[in-house]
Structure 1
Amino acid sequence: MRLTSLFLLFMVSMTTLAQRTENETITVKGEILEEGTNYPLEYATVSFFNPQNELVTGGISDGDGNYSIEVPKGLYRIQFDFISYQTKNLTQQRLTKNITLPAVSLALDAASLDEVVVRAETTEVQIRLDKKIYNIGKDLTTAGATVSDALNNVPSVTVDVEGAISLRGNENVRILINGKPSAIAGFGSTDALRQLPADAIERVEVITSPSARYDAEGTAGILNIILRKEKTLGLNGSVQTTIGAPLNSNISANVNLRTDKFNLFNTTGFRYSNAPGNAFFDNTYKDRIVTDPITGEQTVIAPTVRRIIEDREYDRERQGFNTNLGLEYFLTENSSITGSVFFRLGDDEDVTVNDSKELDNLDFLTFNRIRTETETEEDTSYQFSLNYANNFNDEGHKLTADLQYENDNETQRSYIDERNIFPNNEIFPAEDITTKEEQNEYLAQIDYVRPIGENAQFEAGYRGNFEKSIVDYELLEENGVSGNFMRNDSLSNKFTYQENVNALYSQYGNKFGKFSFLLGLRLENTQLKGNVEADDLVITETDDVALNFDKNYLGLFPTINLTFELKENENITLGYNRRINRPRGFFINPFPSRSSETNIFQGNPNLDPAYSNAFDIGYLKRWSSNLTLTGSIYYQHETDSFERVQEDTGNVTPNGVPIIRTIPFNLSTNDRYGVEAGILYNPAKWLRLNGSFNYFNFKSEGSFNGVDYGTENSSWFARGSAKVTLPSKIDWQTTAFYRGPSNTAQSESEGILSVNLAFSKDIMNDNGTLGLNVSDLLNSRKRRTFTETNTFTSDSEFQWRQRQINLSFTYRFNQKKQRQRNPQNSNDDDGDFEG
């Protein structure tokens, strides 16, 4: 079954049919159900072929599995198709008058090598040899939300209060857009994902056991975000607007124009929001024991300041514009070339007010200081992509080639002023900091797929990724309170970082009866180069921090993915892969942050990559169309893993307060194992339930400066969603998420509960939808952490964003409410493996 060709022919035939006179046609009606359960199949395809086996016309079923199609009178073979279900045909059907055909039941295609599809109304899950695919469907809580919010609803994925994305509790996850690194993800961070509307997502691929085709980067695995690209002929699309409190406004549009020769698609959005947040720190400093190196005599030194309490208030104003414009041109029936450009503008302003109180041994207030940091950020990103795809035949023999260039420019300016308000009013010199960051990245990739026989497939390819970033940091300090600023040459600097990765891969897959396998090997060469330029370095090279470096790594990364079908609707999978974690972003910049005078973060350019070996055993059982269970057991062993160490620098502020530094090192060996399970249950047509649970344990071993940072910890997280269809076609959805407590070698974190609530109502003959959702209904999404070292303790709480209420409106033109499911053999540039 080749759904792409079928769909195109169907649309062409519909155009031709519309030109005929009405008295030449009749109406054919019927119903399409799932065999064994009589569950209606929505958007199943019905095709009418003449005696010459030419496609004449066709249509699709509605939400109740019913279809009604105008057909010219004649003799036909009627074909019924649905993804991952067996095709059924009615032959020698002479149609001369309006008729209602008997109900047709389609059975699951258990012999399909590449996927098993699990249907649910909020999300459609496809289980493949090397991934799980979650199609973001009618998830009401993502209306007016961002891509980052939508990811937090995907099983196995968590997004913490600061936006850090984790897969199975591991933050080292690789984020790809349409199968490739992208400017959409920003400078190795996820900030841009908080600005893009969730409506731009077609699906999210959770790849916990990546095949050799994918980058070896990301020890936890890969999240591949596929953006929407409509495949329906003609002009169609949707527009969504949102207004919320605290202020959250956006408007976005998805527009598509498709003809027989080209497909023009565009997604454009604008956001303006204000996200208030807050944080609290309570640091208590212990007596320090100093040992005389000659006599060995120990002296106890009491800290000048015993306790500091910091209250921080964040006011974040966000403005962003993004557009993705592409044109796919069909060179022949089987080949196409696609060009696209992505452009993003951001204009943000953050104001952080830090109210700091210093207390003595009796907890009496000695100083009260206000530190205000106003940070503006302007960023521009653009990306050009060119893709060529050639399907040599309908059996999966194909060649694809990609070229991509992206440029990112960010300018941050921070103005810091500080003053005492107790015991006297005193103004301190201000700081004016400008950080300019530019990143250029080139990507070249070619993939070749060759089926061998009926069930086997061979694949090979190359990918080159070449990245260079320059961070220019300038610190101006006020001369007294005169308003005159001078450059601090000891901290101002320029840091240049290059990362070049060349990779070759090959993989082979086959199926023997109920057993399928996919074996692959990837060879990657990584070059990491860093260089610091500064007039008067206050930071010098030590054994721990090397300011300039040039490193080269060559590694082999094998992958194994196996599947065994126990029964028609039950299978188990086994996966193994070796992965790498390369240091990126602020983890390698050696110059300390300045947002806090006493708590700083310093990157470490001497970090080496970490390597992991991971195993995964998965299970799927489908009892009926309304009950499905998935589960897996996983284990990962990582060497040279990164550990963030907090330590007393030995330095103090002008007021005598010890400065605490957080810095990452290759400290530990990390063993992580866990189990996860998910269930989809639709007990009634008006009620749909799904839930997932993930438990993991990790143990790390390592020491630094005589301090043992080894630790063992277990944690878990769970999410559940219930969707109810109320009278008057109002949908109500509640989603709850809980992450259990966890700890590291130095810190303990409490559990976090978050509840989202949403309502939706279709209007305007189902062409429009009104939505109301509340994110973090209980205003409880806060990170609470307690840290203890030999010299201090720290009790902290952080809330990135308060409770959010959104009202949204979506209007669709020439488009069904729920999209046509993607054909199996589409040319989407998603780095997919189909064999």
Structure 2
Amino acid sequence: MKRIILLISIICSVVTAKAQFGVGGGGSSIVGKISGTVVDSVTKKTLEYGTITLFRTTGKSPVTGILSDDKGNFHLDNVHPGKYRLEISFVGYPTKVIKDVETTPSKPDNNIGTIAIAQSTKALNEVTVTGTAALVENRIDKLVYNAEKDVTAAGGSATDILQKVPLVNVDINGNVSLRGDANVRVLINGRPSGATSASLADVLKGIPADQIKSVEVITSPSAKYDAEGSAGIINIITKQKNISGISGGISGGMGTRQNNGNFNLNYNKNRFNLTMNIGGNASWPQTSNTYQLTQIDTGSFHSIEERRGTSRLSRHAIMGSVSAGYEFNAYNSLNSSVRLTQVGFNTNTNTVTTGTNSFNTNQVSHAIPASGFDWNVDYVHKFKKEGEELDFSTQWSHSIGNTEYTNIYSAVNTNQKNKIDGTNNEYTLQADYIMPFNTTYKLESGAKYIVRRISTSNDVYSPLGNDFVFNDLASSTYGYNQNVGAAYSVLTINLPKNYSILAGIRDEYTTIDGNPNSVSPKNVPFTQDYNTLVPSLTFQKKLTATQTLKLGYSKRITRPSLQYLNPYVDSTNISAQRVGNPKLSPEVSQTIELGYNTFIGASVINLSAYYKHTSGLIEGIATPIAITVNGVPQGGTLTTFQNIGNNNSFGGSFFGSITPFKILTLQGSINAYTYKPDPSGAFNLQRSQNGTYVQYGGFMRGTLTLPKDFIVESFAFGSSSRRTIQGTNPAFSIFGMGFKKQFDKKKYSLGVNVIQPFSTYKDFNSNISSKGFTQVSKFQYPFRSFGLTFSYNFGKMNFKAPNPMEKKKGINNDDLKQDDSGGMGGGAAGAGGGGR
């Protein structure tokens, strides 16, 4: 802790010495306005709808222009600091030229006052500003997937987008992994969201794809980033349009699996911007088939249980956001945003159990695993020195969740009803300072403090006749407090001959308090605290203008989230129960990676090889248990999260994009890595997997751009089954096609999507075994879907000078390890009995 205080003190002393507000700020993007009033030089009457055009002092092309209003006033918005000349023309008057009109970063607004003119007109030609970005950009420090260029994702969700991002894998339940590692940190616009604390998979399914601009993949984060997430960072960037004036868009889709809609509205004038967005999706009810065979032989207890069933699920999600920002001048700006989220679903499951004890089960559940908001306020101050910057950020994330389910059994009387409520509040304070000493050295330092407060209640109702009554003895509450203090420094050194070094160190101190409470005490309060020093080091050599070689070392920490620490048993499925472990330690991983990037014309190639050592590896360990249903013994399993030992992994990845013909682009990626755990102590007895296993995932895409704005696209991706020390989790693959036609200069579009057209269901099989039991599970999910998509964009997105005969027509020129069970968390926390 003393190291954190020392680093914070150093940062504060630097900030105190440098924070002279109102000076400096080279390279700022600040804009202002030039205004005035046009009058007749003789009569002094105002001239309505005169043409006002702005040029650079020696420029020949107009920068912007506008018409004076019915009172002769004009306001030229979005003017960058500089020296200009102003030309005013009006029918029957000669052009009036005003030279040396200047705006500066500290005084971005210039009111010229009254301008007297005395015949002639001049019209300007239309200049359309257009641009495009590749679907995948391979930058030095990250891989960027430009989702807004994805034809087949229209009308889908963030899950659909992530399934196509190179190096990223998404399983059937929506759980995300990066290069095969599920311990990935997912950010939204560079920030963690409190909504993901309940169930990241459910929140991602609720974000409409039409809200996403791009996805950034960072496999070797520097010390500047939070140390959470051993695999790296995935940053989802939502659309923020900076077009002057008003613009927006409506998009959506209708299909056999789900329906989507999204609306966004953007306003930007002078130094003020406002963006609003609302979107959602609702799935049609989907029926899945399940099968599970469990054999238990503990010596004292023997059972064989076979379960067959169906599960009907419907899902809905709504997400909205409002963000606003204002630049006071070139050096000071303030931004704030609020993001609202609600995800909910209903399930109805019927299961027939045969074997040692036969019975039927009906479970009806309703869940809102995430409902809440994230509120951010950010202040940025830029100094006189080019690139020097000080940022202050705050965030309040609030989410609530609730789950209600009822289990009704036939032939036995262990019916159960649960109501689980959870509340999560997360408060973050952060300061970042950037100081470029010269072109060779740049220092980045910062400090951060996170306060997490989570509380849950699990109300259990026991059967009484045909009804349920509250069971005080079985009910419980749970409180979880976590504080994380961090400080970092990163030094960038640019050396001769195109060498560069990025060296950083981060220190994080974590404290945890858990407070279980029930009438019949079964668990005691617990505390944890640990300090983690996180160094990072990257060497980079720019071989040519298009080739880069990089060698990096990074260390990451994965803290167990509440689902892993909750000591209350989740008995949603009485024969497959789960429980957290308050004594879990965080996973710590260290990675060495060698990467090569090259751009050959329009083609991109990225190659990397890496070694990762993970200590304190967390896995769920299932053990056989004997349970009693209405006095009749039967077999079941209890899964407990444990630090099982270490894992050493070697891996390699490839990503390539080529354009063999102007109209055709082909892209593909593959990532393969080894799994060879080294279980310690008693966990050696749990191991049924022995040896080194190779796991992999890949992706292929082809895009054909045809004349008259027709676009055809197809894709396929898949991943092998994922190993644990007790068995395998399901493999996953999918194929899809999309077609889109754009109209009216791409303002409108209509499309058709087909996913998994050749089979109704996808099969997902898993096998686990250990001392005393074996279990085989099969799951069939209806994946085939057909859908229609549409979009409409409105607003001025180009530069068009005014026609002096047109009236009033202006001109616009432009950190936590997530539960991989894939189900509902018990609200924000999933207290005992909590969700599946």
- Tell me the SS of whatever aligns to 1:137: helix
Question: How far is 1:644 from its partner?
Answer: 1.3
Q: 1:646 to 1:451 in 2, by over 3 A?
A: same
Query: What residue in structure 1 maps to residue 621 of structure 2?
Result: 645
Residues 343-364 of structure 1, C-alpha deviations (whole Å, 9 max, x = no match): 22344322222232x136xxxx
Query: What residue in structure 2 maps to residue 518 of structure 1?
Result: 502
Query: What residue in structure 2 maps to residue 527 of structure 1?
Result: 511
Q: What residue identity is the alignment partner of 1:221?
A: G
Q: What residue identity is the alignment partner of 2:280?
A: F
Residues 171-191 of structure 1, C-alpha deviations (whole Å, 9 max, x = no match): 000111122211343426331
Query: What residue in structure 2 maps to residue 331 of structure 1?
Result: 328
1:264 to 253, 267, 274: 274
CA distance in structure 1 between the partners assigned to 2:203 and 2:125 by the alignment = 54
Q: Does residue 507 of the first structure (1) align with residue 490 of the second (2)?
A: yes
- How many residue pairs get aligned? The number is 708
Query: What residue in structure 2 maps to residue 151 of structure 1?
Result: 162
CA distance in structure 1 between the partners assigned to 2:165 and 2:85 by the alignment = 39
Q: 1:567 to 1:317 in 2, by over 3 A?
A: same
Please say if residues 329 and 338 of structure 1, whose CA atoms lie closer than 8 Å, have aligned partners that are also in contact: yes
- Tell me the SS of whatever aligns to 1:128: coil
* TM-score normalized by the length of structure 1: 0.79
Residues 370-417 of structure 1, C-alpha deviations (whole Å, 9 max, x = no match): 333333437530222100012224721111110111211112111111
Query: What residue in structure 2 maps to residue 206 of structure 1?
Result: 217
Please say if residues 255 and 266 of structure 1, whose CA atoms lie closer than 8 Å, have aligned partners that are also in contact: yes
Please say if residues 49 and 55 of structure 1, whose CA atoms lie closer than 8 Å, have aligned partners that are also in contact: no
Question: How far is 1:55 from its partner?
Answer: 8.9
Query: What residue in structure 1 maps to residue 568 of structure 2?
Result: 591
CA distance in structure 1 between the partners assigned to 2:382 and 2:470 by the alignment = 60
Identity %: 24
Q: Does residue 453 of the first structure (1) align with residue 444 of the second (2)?
A: no
Q: Does residue 433 of the first structure (1) align with residue 418 of the second (2)?
A: yes
Query: What residue in structure 2 maps to residue 167 of structure 1?
Result: 178
CA distance in structure 1 between the partners assigned to 2:182 and 2:53 by the alignment = 63
Q: Does residue 738 of the first structure (1) align with residue 748 of the second (2)?
A: no
2:298 to 288, 301, 309: 288
1:767 to 736, 743, 747: 747
Q: 1:287 to 1:181 in 2, by over 3 A?
A: closer
Larger CA deviation: 578-587 vs 688-697: 578-587
Please say if residues 377 and 413 of structure 1, whose CA atoms lie closer than 8 Å, have aligned partners that are also in contact: no
Matches within 5 A, 1:602-621: 602-621=579-598
CA distance in structure 2 between the partners assigned to 1:121 and 1:509 by the alignment = 28
Larger CA deviation: 642-651 vs 558-567: 642-651
Please say if residues 261 and 330 of structure 1, whose CA atoms lie closer than 8 Å, have aligned partners that are also in contact: yes
CA distance in structure 1 between the partners assigned to 2:26 and 2:669 by the alignment = 32
Q: Does residue 238 of the first structure (1) align with residue 249 of the second (2)?
A: yes
Matches within 5 A, 1:170-569: 170-187=181-198, 189-246=200-257, 248-290=258-300, 303=302, 305-306=303-304, 308-356=305-353, 358-359=354-355, 367-377=358-368, 379-393=370-384, 395-419=386-410, 426=411, 428-479=413-464, 482-513=465-496, 514-537=498-521, 540=522, 547-569=524-546
Question: How far is 1:427 from its partner?
Answer: 6.3
Please say if residues 85 and 98 of structure 2, whose CA atoms lie closer than 8 Å, have aligned partners that are also in contact: no
CA distance in structure 2 between the partners assigned to 1:688 and 1:210 by the alignment = 30
Please say if residues 388 and 402 of structure 1, whose CA atoms lie closer than 8 Å, have aligned partners that are also in contact: yes
Structure 1: give runs of 5+ residues left out of the alignment. Answer: 30-46, 58-71, 76-95, 102-118, 291-300, 361-365, 420-425, 542-546, 818-835
Residues 155-202 of structure 1, C-alpha deviations (whole Å, 9 max, x = no match): 111111111100000000011112221134342633111111112122
Please say if residues 173 and 201 of structure 2, whose CA atoms lie closer than 8 Å, have aligned partners that are also in contact: no
Residues 700-754 of structure 1, C-alpha deviations (whole Å, 9 max, x = no match): 1114266153743211111010011235422111110021244322213464321
Structure 2: give runs of 5+ residues left out of the alignment. Answer: 1-24, 39-47, 63-77, 88-95, 100-121, 799-836
- Tell me the SS of whatever aligns to 2:551: strand
Query: What residue in structure 1 maps to residue 105 of structure 2?
Result: none
Please say if residues 351 and 375 of structure 1, whose CA atoms lie closer than 8 Å, have aligned partners that are also in contact: no
Q: 1:404 to 1:19 in 2, by over 3 A?
A: farther
Q: What residue identity is the alignment partner of 1:323?
A: G
RMSD: 3.4
Please say if residues 161 and 801 of structure 1, whose CA atoms lie closer than 8 Å, have aligned partners that are also in contact: no
CA distance in structure 2 between the partners assigned to 1:701 and 1:235 by the alignment = 59
Q: What residue identity is the alignment partner of 2:209?
A: A
CA distance in structure 2 between the partners assigned to 1:217 and 1:282 by the alignment = 35
Query: What residue in structure 2 maps to residue 725 of structure 1?
Result: 705
Residues 301-345 of structure 1, C-alpha deviations (whole Å, 9 max, x = no match): 6x2x43x22223222222332211111011112321011112223
* TM-score normalized by the length of structure 2: 0.79
CA distance in structure 1 between the partners assigned to 2:132 and 2:682 by the alignment = 50
- Tell me the SS of whatever aligns to 1:707: helix
- Tell me the SS of whatever aligns to 2:599: strand
- Tell me the SS of whatever aligns to 1:150: helix
- Between 1 and 2, higher relative CO (CA 8 Å, sep ≥ 6) is seen in 2
Larger CA deviation: 208-217 vs 198-207: 198-207
Q: What residue identity is the alignment partner of 1:746?
A: Q
Q: 1:158 to 1:379 in 2, by over 3 A?
A: closer
Matches within 5 A, 1:790-801: 790-799=771-780
Question: How far is 1:135 from its partner?
Answer: 2.4
Query: What residue in structure 1 maps to residue 793 of structure 2?
Result: 812
Please say if residues 376 and 396 of structure 2, whose CA atoms lie closer than 8 Å, have aligned partners that are also in contact: yes
CA distance in structure 2 between the partners assigned to 1:463 and 1:22 by the alignment = 49
CA distance in structure 2 between the partners assigned to 1:55 and 1:788 by the alignment = 80
Query: What residue in structure 2 maps to residue 298 of structure 1?
Result: none
Residues 663-687 of structure 1, C-alpha deviations (whole Å, 9 max, x = no match): 1101111112200010011112211
Question: How far is 1:54 from its partner?
Answer: 4.2
